[in-house]
Structure 1
Amino acid sequence: MSSNKEEKSYKEIIKECLNTIKSKINGITKKQCIIIIVFFVISLCVCINIVVAKYDKRVYPGVSIYQEDISGMNYNELREKLEVLKKEINEKEVKIKIKKNTYVLSMNDIVSNYNTDKLYEDIVNENKNKNILEKFMTIIKNKEKNYKFNIDINEDKIVRCGYIIDKENSKKPLEPKVIIDNEVVKLKEGKTGKRLDLNRLVKNILYNINNENIYREDMVINCKEINELPTIKINSLKNINHKISSYSTSYASGGGRGDNIEVAAKKIDDLLLMPGEEFSYEKALGPIDRENGYKNAPVIINGDLKDGIGGGVCQVSSTLYNTQLKSGILPTERRNHSKPVSYVPRGLDATLATGSIDYKFKNTLEYPIVINTKTSNNLLTIEFWSNEKALDGIEYEAVGYSSGKVANTYLYGYNEKGKKVYEKHIDTSVYR
């Protein structure tokens, strides 16, 4: 390693030579002057070669990595130093703090490449193409130059960690609700939620990895959260003021089947569908298992009545299907049971088989729809509430025409004078 004392001595040698020439140049002959100049040039060339040769295959003065001086190191020492620095950074951690929680990412996990060879070549070749005088001047000037690794980061791992942080700490916004209470429409305000600012988290980590202190201390990132507003504006729900359709079916309360009907009905009670939004019965009910409140009861499986979890939920979907049709809305997905059921006419039932058969429809009205359910006195009633102008004065009726094992379902619409203004064949149901 060279020192500032050694580098200053080079400058002093040159200065002394110049002073000597200056003091003796007066009063000497031309020949003597030439000899002195030649001697000086030769001495200077020797000096330059000695200085430059000293840094052959060594790091030039003023060079550092992460502000740590590495000048004078030979190239093998430089290689070793880079490996030491890489190991030190690898052992560091990224500590992500949010609220009272701290999540830890290892630098070793998120760094994909330190590009060590590139950094080595940059340092070694910095002065490679300079001539000897340029190299000499670089050494004499001792200009500081700091290097860092060009670290490649696996951003996907940061993002995956961010998803976990967000899931465990975020608070979803509450959408405004419409509650039907004894034929009275009530509105409930929504609430703003909080979620992790994932983009900012990733940018902060990437920025701090390029910090000078990255290999000296662990990185601490304080997460920022951003507000997440409800997607529905409460003002858009104020025009819900009228019951546009209703349908009822009877059931035996109590027991597994009766309990399943009441659980399923409650799952869709006060459910809001905005214009263009699609309803999925399977999604609304959630997993049909004991943890979700469902019990064993008879179910139709491949035409046979067997005991299974959730028996009775299809009565709710069939009742809902008829309510939907009476509002003039067609299904986007619907299948009949393999055998006719007793609670609705043939062609007007809708079955559910988790994972294979769903019942769906889309709100094709210009207004929001609220589903209201009632279960009392062995009667299941499902209502659609919307705006008084939603059906444009048309009253809809669904009819299933049966012939043997086949039922064809039609939807009719009648104006205020009782005149049929709409007719649509919905589908054909085939039973065993």
Structure 2
Amino acid sequence: MRKNKVLTAFFVIGCIAVVGIAGIVTLFAKDNFGNKNLICDGISIGSLDVGGLTQEQAQKKVDDYIAKRRQQKLVVTVQENQIEATAAEAGLEIAEGDYAAEALQIGKKGNLWEKFQEIRKAEAGKRDIALETKVNEDTLKNFVETKCSVYDIKAKDSRLKFKNGALKATKSKEGLEVQTDTTMEAIQKTLLSKKAENADALDVTADVEVTEPKFTREEASQCTDLLGKYSTTYATYQVERSSNVATAAGRINGTVIYPGKTFSTIKVIKDRTEENGYKAAPEYSSGKVVSGIGGGVCQVSTTLYNAVLNAELKVVERSPHSMVVGYVPVSRDAAISGDYKDFKFKNNTDYPVYIMGNASGGILSFRVYGHETREAGREISFESEVTDTIEPGEEVVTEDPTLPASYRSVTQSAHVGYKAKLWKIVKVNGVQTEKVQVNTSAYNASPQYVTVGKQPATAAPSASASAGSKKPAGTAAPSATKKPSTTVRPSRTKAPSAAKKSSATKSNTAKKSTTSVSGSKTTSESTPNNTKSSTKKTTNTGSRKAS
């Protein structure tokens, strides 16, 4: 019995050995076993069978495949529209590498048994080399946003327009919008799918959703109540300033502020540049009235500020001017400057707010429309209170040596400074229920600026120029403006005859006198009058503009 078991064991071992030897013999019988120049059978690079190929043949096959995949046709359907592109344009990337060299090494490393095991795995399809394939998300996103989203249909908001003296709401309309993220996911999934490896073309349907308008006709119809208004006046003869006021008001006109959103004056009226339509006009700067691009737009922000106060919307940011302005009481102004002074307010209601602005015929006005929720019989008013007055101080004098001493011109009038508060008073059915402080303001005082002439007085005519002089012309004193050169004293000569002496002296004296008087008239009558007239005109214009 024991002998039979031993024989059986030897038999099994022998069979295994025979099978192993047969397998090895079979492998040796293959053309590419042990051939260092051929890739083992059964090896794939991606979906490409490269078994039995040389490294060069396999690499060419891979390169051709990569080029074909990059140019693979991709069709994206957006509603009834189709966008055609290549896979590469949609972001497909296949890294170029020495894939064939890696494939060639399989089954050619290690001892005989290790080689045998590698070849067995290759034949079983377990030794594939993956191509490094991915989708560049930035490229894909750009493709979707620039090629697919062009077929978006924007939702149409309802607008408020005046028709027959009443504010009416226009029709609103739904829109269609390609969903970027989900469309990107669909394209990426298709490009990296197993099916894409051998397909001639790929088809994807974009994800499109219906979008609702932000401002429907139903909502707009509820926002026709006048919540607050305010008007100021401006001088139409100040053409550049008037233009700036109209430009800024026009940009604000028609603005809709949705619930919870904040309005920024600086953002809406755009940068005050010539490219944006603004002109040079007077404005405050460092306590003086100077010319600046966009001068006058502070009247727009100020007028809007008061309309917003009357509408009882929430003021987020407001700053006073550096000096008082003439178109509103103290503490009722709202200055804007650069990017550090802005007038902002928030729509703290549950309904959209519509701003109507207009500047025409010297009247600037703003109206704020929305849905009235305040109780009936409620009235509000505002009072300015001056808490301190600052005198402007001594005038500042600038001397100009090019102007005559009699010249004097006020180049900027004095400004009194103030500290002030603004109060909001609430009455219900005629009875005061609240008095709330709205803001505090401080305005700088500014002295009067004066320019005076400092030109030296004209020198008096010399004694030799008098008409009664009988001294010979040859002995006349030299001109005061030119020092005579030293000469040798002449020898005493015989004096000329009295008749000739008198005639020559009289002629020369008369000529000098005429020239001197003529020059005196030109200096005292022409130049000062012209300068004074010009300065006065500039001063008056600046004073009006500053106010």
2:324 aligns to what? 340
Name the TM-score, length of structure 2 as normaliser. Answer: 0.59
2:25 aligns to what? 47
Tell me how far 1:322 sits from its aligned partner: 0.7
2:252 aligns to what? 268
Q: Is the 1:55–1:72 Cα contact (8 Å) retained in structure 2?
A: no
| Aligned partner of residue 321 in structure 2, secondary structure | coil
1:25 aligns to what? none
Q: Does 1:231 align with 2:211?
A: no
Q: Distance in 1 between matches of 2:304 and 2:130?
A: 66
Instruction: Give the unaligned 5+ runs of structure 2.
Output: 1-10, 390-416, 446-547
Q: Is the 1:61–1:143 Cα contact (8 Å) retained in structure 2?
A: no
Alignment of 1:142-153 (within 5 A): 148-153=130-135
Tell me how far 1:325 sits from its aligned partner: 1.1
Q: Which has the larger radius of gyration?
A: 2
Q: Structure 1 226/241 Cα, relative in aligned 2: closer, same or farther at 3 Å?
A: closer
Q: Does 1:415 align with 2:428?
A: yes
**Bigger CA drift: 352-361 or 163-172?**
163-172
Alignment of 1:19-98 (within 5 A): 44-51=22-29, 54-55=32-33, 59-65=39-45, 67-73=47-53, 76-77=55-56, 80-81=59-60, 84=63, 88=67, 92=71
Q: Does 1:240 align with 2:218?
A: no
> Deviation per CA, 1:331-355, whole angstroms, max 9, x where unpaired?
1111122221111112111122243
Instruction: Give the unaligned 5+ runs of structure 1.
Output: 1-32
Tell me how far 1:104 sits from its aligned partner: 6.9
Matched to 1:73, the amino acid is L
2:161 aligns to what? 179
1:23 aligns to what? none
Q: Distance in 2 between matches of 1:395 and 1:123?
A: 92
Matched to 2:170, the amino acid is K
2:95 aligns to what? 114
Matched to 2:328, the amino acid is V
Q: Structure 1 44/267 Cα, relative in aligned 2: closer, same or farther at 3 Å?
A: same
Tell me how far 1:246 sits from its aligned partner: 1.6
Q: Structure 1 166/304 Cα, relative in aligned 2: closer, same or farther at 3 Å?
A: farther
| Number of matched pairs | 397
CA RMSD of aligned residues (A): 4.5
Q: Is the 1:411–1:426 Cα contact (8 Å) retained in structure 2?
A: no
| Aligned partner of residue 419 in structure 1, secondary structure | strand
1:427 aligns to what? 440
Alignment of 1:17-416 (within 5 A): 44-51=22-29, 54-55=32-33, 59-65=39-45, 67-73=47-53, 76-77=55-56, 80-81=59-60, 84=63, 88=67, 92=71, 107=88, 110=91, 114=95, 116=97, 148-165=130-147, 170-181=152-163, 184-210=166-192, 225-253=208-236, 255-390=239-374, 393-402=377-386, 403-404=388-389, 405=417, 406-416=419-429
Q: Is the 1:201–1:224 Cα contact (8 Å) retained in structure 2?
A: yes
Q: Distance in 1 between matches of 2:314 and 2:16?
A: 105
> Deviation per CA, 1:95-132, whole angstroms, max 9, x where unpaired?
78779997978949956773958998699669999978
Q: Distance in 2 between matches of 1:158 and 1:109?
A: 5
| Aligned partner of residue 249 in structure 2, secondary structure | helix
Q: Structure 1 185/306 Cα, relative in aligned 2: closer, same or farther at 3 Å?
A: same
Identity %: 21
Q: Structure 1 40/156 Cα, relative in aligned 2: closer, same or farther at 3 Å?
A: closer
1:30 aligns to what? none
Tell me how far 1:210 sits from its aligned partner: 2.3
